[in-house]
Amino acid sequence: MSDSAVPAERKRVWSTPAGVALCAEIDLADPGSRGFVLQIGEAYFHGFVIRKGGVIAGWVDRCPHAGFPIAVELDRYLTPDGSQILCGWHGAVFEPVSGACVGGPCAGGKLTPWPVAVADGIVRTA
């Protein structure tokens, strides 16, 4: 395989500009979650939003344990009962609203917050 046939690694960024519309608030179940990939210039941001008990929180889609994305399957960030965020790769468990790791290989760690807010029924970056 020639060097030109090897795909280039996509550049990542870890924050987003404010005001980017993500989804309608009613499109998030309670409890529920949804992942987003935003192109910012030549780089990409990966994040996810959860809704739990009426609270909406955003997180950078990167496990503090090994740096992998949290979900193995699209939009599947929560445990089956919706009570916790679950890293599908190594089983780390996080509180949905605080992002604190409460079990697994990164216990005591925390997810990186992604500021989001709801205005006029639309979830946006903040």
Reply yes or no on whether the pLDDT at 1 is more than 80. Answer: no
* Section 104-111 average pLDDT: 91
Beta pairing class for 43-52 and 11-12 = parallel
Q: What value does the mean pLDDT take over residues 72-98?
A: 95
Q: Model confidence at 3, in pLDDT bands (50, 70, 90)?
A: low
> Which residues have CB under 8 Å from 108's CB, separation 6+?
101
Mean pLDDT estimate for the chain:
93
Query: In this predicted structure, what is the pLDDT of residue 107?
Result: 84
Helix or strand holding residue 102 (H, E)? strand 101-103
d(CA 66, CA 71): 13
Whether this model's pTM surpasses 0.85: yes
Dist. CA 39–CA 50, nearest whole Å? 21
